């Protein structure tokens, strides 16, 4: 499908169910690329002194939306209570104010490592290209099933 008119005609022939399935499959693939990049960024950007954070890379969640809802990848749970980790936002952004206990003991502050931003920035172009490729493959597959 090299011609834009052929692509448009193939797209118009799809039903709502096929469109939703196509969108969900393609966005799942793109979200996986971003999540894998963030996991790799955790391993490379955070020093050995904070090894426990590496386990939180497996707890990232994604919300793949249908229709007009965008796909989002979270490093900590957003109101659902599922997946993610509360502490990851402190490793991402840091904490500028040193914390103290009621007794006045200093609990220190964290330097932000920005592993999430780094991972997303490095993979967003790849995810977009993969999304485009996946959508085209799905349209071709659906049309080849219905046409022949």
* pLDDT beyond 50 at 1: no
* pLDDT beyond 80 at 133: yes
pLDDT band at 82 (very low <50, low <70, confident <90, very high): low
- Cα 42 versus chain centre, distance: 14
Cα–Cα distance for residue pair 89/75, rounded to 1 Å: 7
Q: What is the pLDDT of residue 129?
A: 92
pTM for the predicted model, two decimal places: 0.71
* pLDDT beyond 70 at 44: yes
DSSP string, 61-110: EEE--STTPPPEEESB--SS-SSB-TTHHHHHH---SPEE-TT--EEE--
Cα–Cα distance for residue pair 87/38, rounded to 1 Å: 16
- Bridge partners of 62? 73
Q: Which residue has the higher pLDDT, 1 or 81?
A: 81
């Amino acid at each position: 499908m090299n011609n834009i008119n052929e692509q448009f005609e193939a797209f118009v022939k799809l039903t709502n169910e096929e469109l939703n399935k196509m969108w969900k499959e393609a966005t799942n693939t793109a979200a996986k690329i971003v999540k894998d990049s963030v996991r790799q960024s955790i391993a490379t950007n955070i020093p050995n002194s904070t090894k426990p954070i590496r386990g939180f890379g497996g707890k990232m969640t994604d919300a793949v939306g249908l229709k007009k809802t965008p796909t989002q990848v979270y490093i900590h749970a957003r109101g659902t209570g599922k997946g993610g980790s509360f502490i990851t936002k402190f490793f991402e952004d840091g904490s500028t104010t040193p914390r103290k206990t009621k007794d006045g003991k200093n609990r220190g502050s964290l330097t932000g490592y920005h592993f999430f931003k780094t991972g997303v920035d490095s993979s967003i172009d790849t995810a977009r290209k993969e999304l485009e490729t996946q959508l085209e493959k799905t349209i071709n597959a659906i049309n080849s099933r219905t046409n022949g």
